[in-house]
Structure 1
Amino acid sequence: MIEYSFRIKHEGCWTNSFNDAFPNARASIIYSYLVHGTSVTMIEVTQVEEGEIDDLVDWLEDHPVMNTSRLVSFTSATNRGVVCLEGDYDTETEPVLNVLLGNSCFPTIPATVADGWEHWDVLAPTHEQVSRAHEELQQLGTVQIDSLHSPEFEGMFMGLLEVKKAIQNLSARQLEVLSLAIEEGYYDSPRSCKLKDLAEHDPTGVSTVGEHLRLSEAKILKAIGPMLDQPAKD
């Protein structure tokens, strides 16, 4: 398997001019697929104010390749929104994901959009498939390779199993408090809430909530520890 990380300025796509219209906003492409010739895309937008989200949705719908843009949800506490897009692409503005999947290159994490670039991390079975995907992507815009290497999958797989086991070993209460902390933005940078804010959802108080988090973090970080010894990407 080959791990291929790259960035692309996708000409004619909304990602190319997104930050020109909304300089502080960031977007992640959660998924995108074709239905009867129409591309349906779900994106998450962050760092966008509540009063700005409607303008952002309208801007996306007005983009030449888009038919509709619909706000699915918005959380004002974390300035995060989920938007569903439907658009008709041609061969010159085809979604990057279509090119990748057509060449058996599969994203490992959602692509991010920042400063006109789409950032992608994918896995492919062979160098030949990466080469074909790269050639087709160059027809869509400017492509820069960030890394290209064969990862140590055995160690990565075992590490992920240990992390999964650590999560399964959390108590029901630890898992509940940890999930709440993630949802409320306790681990965001900067943090969107503090321990006392989480404690408002828990009658046991700040110290108990903090102890649940510390124990959860300790179990998960001990499982992650061995993975930190893996060689860095080139």
Structure 2
Amino acid sequence: MPYAKLEVTVPENIWISELSQDYPATRFRILAATADDERGVARLEIIGPVAGQVCEQIEQYETVTELSVFEQEANRRRVQVETTVPVLLNAIQTAGIPLDLPVEVDNGTLTLETTLSQKKLSTLGETLDNFGIKYTVERIQQETESESLLTERQEGLLREAIERGYYDTPRRITLVELAEEVGIAKSTCSEILHRAEGQVLKQFLGGDCEHQPDISITAD
């Protein structure tokens, strides 16, 4: 099935579009999200020196009906936001496309990476057009079974972990150090590696050895 990478422009009437442009040094990570016709609910991680200030501004938007902070640190907040304008989420769900989380919104743009049939890919494009959401197709690639084993992000982080000695015995780098060096949160690093490790191990134990990917890992 084709692997597709799209740069989706978040509609300007959605608060995260405006704030991600106003605060370019702040990271907005969507950890979980769901929506229906009337409201959307998303769990977010907001990372940056003004994370607290950003949360205060989120509450000022008329479309935001509730904001709950469930984890707080000096430069990070984890929050749940309810909104009355879940346009982007509705569009993705209407197209029947699973959103591979977490994803980040950077400067008003969401990078959507997914592997799906050509028919579903066409449906996604048509649905975004119908919702008036602008997007750019950055990459489409017909993948073999081994190539589609990992997402681009998973493979990239897994390679970084191997090269930096995370899987050496003894380890040359901790999870915290690895996360800092690649510029992501520890929880994100752990989550991506866990998914990638699971995919590689399942393929290794249950797949055809002649078609194994060129990534190998050893766990403690």
Range of TM-score over shorter length:
0.5 to 0.7
Letter of the aligned partner of 1:187 in structure 2? E
> Is 1:136 equivalent to 2:130 in the alignment?
no
Distance 1:16 1:72, change over 3 A: same
Q: 1:104 aligned to 2:102? A: no
Aligned residues: 178
Stretches (4+) displaced over 6 A: 170-173
> Does structure 2 retain, via aligned residues, the 8 Å contact 1:110–1:120?
no
Counterparts of 2:134 and 2:175, CA distance in 1:
39
Check the 8 A contact 1:40/1:85 in 2, yes or no. Answer: yes
Aligned partners of 2:35 and 2:89 also within 8 Å: no
Instruction: Give 1:71 deviation, angstroms.
Output: 2.2
Aligned to 1:73: 71
Aligned residue number for residue 127 of structure 1: 118
- Number of the residue aligned with 1:33: 34
Give the equivalent residue in structure 2 for 1:146.
138
Q: Is the 8 A contact 2:31 2:42 kept in 1?
A: yes
Q: Cα–Cα, structure 1 residues 4 and 75, in superposed 2: closer, same or farther, change >3 Å?
A: same
- Report if the CA contact (8 A) 2:95-2:127 is conserved: no
Unaligned runs of 5+ in 2: 187-203, 205-212
TM-score under structure 2 normalisation? 0.64
In 1, Cα distance between the equivalents of 2:115 and 2:139? 12
AA at the equivalent of 1:153: E
Change (3 A) 1:101 1:34: closer
Percent of residue pairs bearing the same amino acid type: 12
CA contact (8 A) 1:45 1:81 kept: yes
The amino acid across from 1:9 in the alignment is T
Rg: which structure is higher?
1
Matches within 5 A, 1:1-234: 1-11=1-11, 12-34=13-35, 37-46=38-47, 48-49=48-49, 52-76=50-74, 79-89=75-85, 94=87, 96-124=88-116, 126-138=117-129, 139-157=131-149, 178-181=174-177, 185-189=179-183, 226-227=214-215
**Alpha-carbon distance in 2 for matches of 1:123, 1:98:** 19
Relative to the length of structure 1, the TM-score reads 0.61
Structure 1 portions without partners, runs of 5+ = 193-222, 229-234
Aligned-partner residue type, residue 27 of structure 1: F
Cα distance in 1 for partners of 2:31, 2:107 equals 18
| Distance apart, 1:145 and its partner CA | 0.8
Alpha-carbon separation, structure 2, partners of 1:191 and 1:36: 32
* Change in CA separation of 1:75 and 1:187 when aligned onto 2, cut-off 3 Å: farther
